[in-house]
């Protein structure tokens, strides 16, 4: 008889949300909103140079999407 299992590890974001520390969550929201602005500005910069399809711009666009999702999760935790 064999069994298989998987070990999952929570992310720091998940741990923060589960902690219930509203002050820390608000601080993280502020930090992630600043990072989102930076990523969005970077995407706009590359787009204005007609280089929206360059690797850096694509990475920044993905980063912006991830940050938006994380911000939504954090706000839902409040």
Cβ atoms of 29 and 68 within 8 Å: the answer is no
- The answer to whether the beta carbons of residues 39 and 60 sit under 8 Å apart is yes
Runs of H (alpha helix) within the chain? 12-19, 22-48, 55-76
Residue 55 CA, distance from chain mean position: 19
pTM assigned to the model: 0.83
Q: How far apart are CA 4 and CA 30, in angstroms?
A: 41
What is the Cα 62 distance to its own chain's centre?
Answer: 9
pLDDT tens, 56-72? Answer: 899 999 999 999 999 99
Domain range annotation of the chain: 12-76
Give the tens place of pLDDT for each residue, 14-36: 999 999 999 999 999 999 999 99
């Amino acid at each position: 008889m064999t069994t298989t299992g998987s070990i999952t590890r929570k992310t720091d974001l998940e741990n923060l949300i589960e902690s219930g520390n509203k002050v820390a969550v608000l601080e993280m929201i502020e930090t992630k909103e600043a990072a989102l602005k930076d990523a969005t500005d970077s995407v706009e910069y590359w787009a204005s140079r007609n280089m929206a399809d360059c690797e850096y711009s694509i990475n920044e666009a993905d980063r912006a999407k991830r940050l938006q999702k994380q911000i939504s999760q954090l706000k839902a935790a409040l």
